[in-house]
Amino acid sequence: MIVYDGLKSDFLTSVENDTIAMQIEQNIFEKMGRHTGASEITSWDNSMQYMFKVMLDPKIPSDAGVAIEYNIPQSAKRVDFMVSGYDVNGNPSMVIIELKQWSSLSKVENSEALVETVLGGGLRKVVHPSYQAWSYAQLISDYNTAVQDEKVRLVPCAYLHNYMRNDHDPLDDEQYDAYTSEAPAFTKGQVNQLRDFIKHCVKVGDNKEVLYLIDHGAIRPSKSLQNAIASMIEGNEEFIMIDEQRVVYEEIIKISTQCQKDHKKRTVICKGGPGTGKSVIAVRLLAELTQREQFVQYVSKNSAPRQVYAAKLKGKIKKSSVDNMFKGSGTYTDVGRNMIHTLLVDEAHRLNEKSGMFHNMGENQIKEIIHAAGCSVFFIDESQRVTMDDIGSIDEIRKWAREENSEVTEMELVSQFRCNGSNGYLAWVDNLLEIRETANYDLDGLDYEVKLCDDQAEVQSIIIEKNRASNRARILAGYCWNWPKGERNNTNFHDIQIGDFGISWNLDDGQAFAISESSVNEAGCIHTTQGLEFDYVGVIIGDDMRYENGHVITDFTKRAKTDQSLKGIKKMYEEKPEEAIARADEIIKNTYRTLMTRGMKGCYIYCTDPGMREHIRERIDSVRTRVEAGLDSFR
């Protein structure tokens, strides 16, 4: 949907008469039912003055189309400015311009797409403007049938009209070459260069014909996108489905396909514990439904699984195309009803009520996802809610499905494929942490490596050795140590210090902790590992969990100040102490349960509390005979 469209001549007149911002504001209200804030209106006034100067060039055709605030269908993304026409060969062409009012930025080391700039009163990591423009062009190209069928040429760029470029500027750093070469960035004083860029693409005016084509194009994934994602999935052992996983997969395909036929809204709730294959099914569905010409997205609140799966799938598809398939759960606050064919929500227990950087956007993420999709699929394990903000529950999904008049189907995955397929180990963890009583008091008969380490250095030694085989072993820790902002890229700064032992938290460098070659030397927390799996994990249990007077107790006061998982718990404790203690106890125990079940083959544990160490030792040694075999655990 285009908010404002006109000819170049119309645009120049509107800016000259100081009415352009008012026209955009009025159109947004009429077309989207949304009021616009004063700051956004001011930004239009400012940016459109700069685009007025650019478009004054008489060699840019007066009957070229101009679109402002093009809302990309089936997304909440809006393109700032577009110029349409025909190129020198008479082919339809569209220039996409991402406008930025930034005056400074810095690069994010070892990141191929992120920069840092001041937004909302603070320093924020955001995508490079060239990447943003390029990804919008790729999203339109991948899913708009008019672009595909009419072979509309999309040419992206960025214009930072307040940005004074310097020699060796971070905007031009070589790590961003993949995007700046495809979508050049123009800055303050480069009006003529931007004019030349537009004129190279738009030689003849189109009287808004190309704008019309794009605005009315149906949504369908391109053949190249369908074929590429299918070829990457096939033959990849990580995405092979087994037994009941295939049954659930086939049933969801049937339900999703039916939604496309009869246009009725449907919601699927798929319940399953750790290692039952929820993520495998979600990624396979993403590939299969895309092949069936649906617009499908994989959704998660936590960025870690999105980052890892996207990285695994990159190679045959451009990065922006992959990224457009993997979205955060706060993406759907402004997406219209049934605008997306199918949304696959992994880790649905982690969904929040509000969205946005300051948790001030939208109403409820579950509602917004169901509202946006013809078919919404929620993969959920309620025992993995690990923050105060986690609202994902089966009852909550049922509630919003009723509100949205969406038919609900419920399924369950039971078979365990993690922890060497041992449901017994999961039951042992639940019993050990006093989450629930089970028959698995000890580890007798379980084919899974579990070892209590005497110190944290032993955990590190084992994990480094195990990691040599396939880069699938990691150290994980409870969030009991601060993560100071100034040291987040310094692997030599030891955030976690226990006696003489020290290790840093995972680096904040844009690399995925689960697959980065160097991250075995750091420790991951719940936020960088939930939803993922490894062959082996070493888990450091901090002072927030202790063993006293015959019971496992939790202590929220021992959590790090930088951890947002328990934000608001102190206020709750002042008002409702019993409720606060119960809520914190659930979150802390769920956190360690999740960390201790990330490993496919083994888990090595160290506890800072001596009582907890003895508790675990007694539970491991109760029926086992210790067998020393190098780094092997008890057998």
Q: How confident is the model at residue 27 (pLDDT cuts 50, 70, 90)?
A: confident
- The confidence score (pLDDT) of residue 227 equals 83
Nearest-CA neighbor of 397 among 251, 252, 297, 267? Answer: 267
**pLDDT per residue as tens digits for the range 466-523:** 999 999 999 999 999 999 988 988 999 999 999 999 999 998 877 889 999 899 999 9
Mean pLDDT to the nearest integer, 21-49: 84
Dmax (CA) for the chain in angstroms is 87
**pLDDT per residue as tens digits for the range 332-363:** 998 889 999 999 999 999 999 999 877 888 99
C-alpha–C-alpha distance, residues 373 and 32, integer Å: 18
**pLDDT per residue as tens digits for the range 296-333:** 999 999 888 888 877 777 766 676 677 788 999 999 99
Nearest-CA neighbor of 522 among 489, 484, 499, 545? Answer: 489
Residues in the chain: 635
Spatial neighbors of 499 by CB under 8 A, at least 6 apart, are: 455
C-alpha–C-alpha distance, residues 304 and 55, integer Å: 42
Architecture of domain 223-413: 3-Layer(aba) Sandwich (3.40)
Alpha helices in 263-339 (DSSP H): 278-291, 303-313, 319-323
**pLDDT per residue as tens digits for the range 75-90:** 768 899 999 999 999 9
306-310: long-range pairs with CB below 8 Å, 24+: 307/512, 308/512, 308/514, 308/515, 308/532, 309/279, 309/283
C-alpha–C-alpha distance, residues 133 and 126, integer Å: 13
For the chain, domain boundaries? 2-215, 223-413, 421-621
C-alpha–C-alpha distance, residues 339 and 376, integer Å: 12
Q: Quickly tell me which residue has 């930004």 as its tokens.
A: 43
C-alpha–C-alpha distance, residues 441 and 623, integer Å: 10
C-alpha–C-alpha distance, residues 310 and 333, integer Å: 23
- Answer yes or no: are the C-beta atoms of 294 and 435 closer than 8 Å: no
* Three-state DSSP class for residue 477: strand
C-alpha–C-alpha distance, residues 189 and 47, integer Å: 14
